[in-house]
Structures are given as C-alpha cells and as structure tokens.
Amino acid sequence: MFTKADIEKYFLAEKQGSLFFLIIGIIAILLAIGFYLFLKNNFYKGAAVPLLAIGIVQAIVGFTVYARSDRQRIDNVYAFDMNPGKLKSEELPRMQTVNKNLIAYQWAEIGFFIVGAVLILCFAGNKEKSFWLGLGIALAIQAAVMLSTDYFAGRRAKSYTKQLESFRIAR
C-alpha cells in the first residue's frame, strides 16, 4: 500500500543522490582546473576536457534536483491528503517522463563509455597522442560514474512510479 512515508522516502533518497551528484561534479571541475593549470602535459589537458564538461552538467543537475526535492516532497505529501487526484494526474505522468529520460541518459552514457574505451584502445602506448588517451580515460570514468548513479536513480524512480500506479484514491 502506497503511503506518505513512501513519498518521503523517495524524495529524501533523490535529494541524497543529487547531493552526491553535485559533489562529484564539483570534484570533477576542480580536477579539470588543476589538471589544466598545474599538470600541463597533454594527457592531463585531454583528461580535463570531459572532467570539466561533464562535471559542469553533474553540478548543475545535482544542484537543481537537490534544490527542488524538498518542495516536491512537501507538495506530494500534501496532495496525498488534500488532493490525491493530483498524484495520478501530475506526479505519475512526471515520473513516467523521468523514467523515459533516465533510459535515454543511460544510453548516452553507454555511448560515452564506448567512445572513451575506443580512445583508450586506440591511443594507449602512443606518447604523441597522450591528449586523446587522457580524454578517453576521463570520458570513460565520467560515463561510468554517471551510468552508475543514473542506474540507482532509475531503480528508485521505477519503484516509486509503480507505487504511484498502484495508488487508489479513497472515495
């Protein structure tokens, strides 16, 4: 049976996951800056590119989800008691979209991982192309981190969506 505690649990876990994502993004950005400014060889310059680009995305997404989680949690707990139809008419479609988007993100992340792996295989041992090796390693690592975080986010979202689908409005 779907309860207010289920709503609380989902949004608290989402908030914790987004905080982790934000922290990972900030670390990636700082690493990229450090690599570019202090470790000035081509390998680290290559690694700085995906660390910075993906780190910015991680930080923005992490902050955005973190900032809105409490409001969504409060709104949905309130709707549970005061306007339960809103859970079916607004929250369920929102979560169905979240699930579809997470699948698309995971496919993109798999693609980034494959590109990173190909770059590693093509340029490992070639000192003249160390920029591309660094780029490939950092891209593969960032893709793996994002894929794993989105995997767990997807599991939470699917479970919560199933709970919303099973929710029966009392008459």
What integer pLDDT is reported at residue 168 of this predicted model? Answer: 85
Whether the per-residue pLDDT at 171 is higher than 90: the answer is no
Domain holding 12, by residue range, is 4-166
Asked, for residue 159, whether it belongs to a domain, the answer is: yes
Placement of tokens 């919560």 in the chain: 160
Asked, for residue 23, whether it belongs to a domain, the answer is: yes
pLDDT band at 40 (very low <50, low <70, confident <90, very high): confident
Enumerate residues 6+ apart whose C-beta is below 8 A from 4: 77, 80, 81
CA 94 to CA 72: how far, in whole Å? Answer: 11
**Per-residue pLDDT tens digits for 41-99:** 999 999 999 999 999 999 999 999 999 999 999 999 999 999 999 999 999 999 999 99
Asked, for residue 100, whether it belongs to a domain, the answer is: yes
Asked, for residue 171, whether it belongs to a domain, the answer is: no
pTM tops 0.85: yes
Number of compact structural domains in the chain: 1
